[in-house]
Chain A
Amino acid sequence: DQQVKQNSPSLSVQEGRISILNCDYTNSMFDYFLWYKKYPAEGPTFLISISSIKDKNEDGRFTVFLNKSAKHLSLHIVPSQPGDSAVYFCAATFLSSNYKLTFGKGTLLTVNP
């Protein structure tokens, strides 16, 4: 039973345009959500996170939106750059779980020059 779902295996966008990556979750106990970026042959790197008490968090070109009623979050990258091409993982956790992360399967983003 997948508790964190990324239904788009891949996404292709043009350089300079907006990339929107989506993530859905089923476990109502999740109260903290994170996005990780992964290049081939490297470990994931933390990108941005959001607490369930917020509905938006922004860091430079990256913004994460959380819709708790829909159990949905999205990552917006504006403007997209070729160096953003990577696999993006959505992850969720809750405080009493000792920060154990549950990951989605990932979305491969390709930004074309």
Chain B
Amino acid sequence: NAGVTQTPKFRILKIGQSMTLQCTQDMNHNYMYWYRQDPGMGLKLIYYSVGAGITDKGEVPNGYNVSRSTTEDFPLRLELAAPSQTSVYFCASSPTVRGQYFGPGTRLTVT
């Protein structure tokens, strides 16, 4: 099993550009999450999904969108990138509350 994979690893965006961060898991987990981690801060939940076709907002959803058309994939879309979205983004999946499995992260810089 590859676990949770994220692409790209790094990306630099100009203000106003859009991009999609990809996340795929091969563990057949129903629950999937997107977090962002700013320097010196904990992880903050952006969006989450409890299964294919079901998504909901987390703590910091503004400026982002998600979709979950399959169990495996949970892409995060950034529209009109802003400098405040410079962060490290982590995708995670979970079968239950007993430990979420995290991907390696995507480091995004918006200039």
Chain B binds chain A: yes
The B-contacting residues of A in range 64-113, CB under 8 angstroms, are 89, 93, 95, 98-106
Could you tell me which B residues sit within 8 Å of A by CB distance?
A: 4, 31, 33, 35, 40-45, 48, 50, 56, 58, 90, 92, 94, 96-105
A36 to B105, CA, bound (A): 15
A46 touches B101 (CB 8 A): yes
Interface of B is mostly: strand
Which one of B90, B94, B97, B98 contacts A44 once the chains associate, using CB atoms below 8 Å?
A: B90
Docked pose: A106 CA to B40 CA in angstroms: 8
Tell me the complex Cα distance, A98–B44, Å.
15
Size bracket, chain A contacts = 20 to 34
Chain A positions within 8 Å of B, measured between CB atoms, are 4, 6, 9, 32, 34, 36, 41-46, 49, 89, 93, 95, 98-106
Q: Which residue of B lies closest to A51 (CB)?
A: B97
Residues from chain B with Cβ under 8 Å of A32 in the complex = 97
Report if A93-B97 is in contact (Cβ < 8 Å); known contacts: A43-B90, A99-B31.
Answer: yes
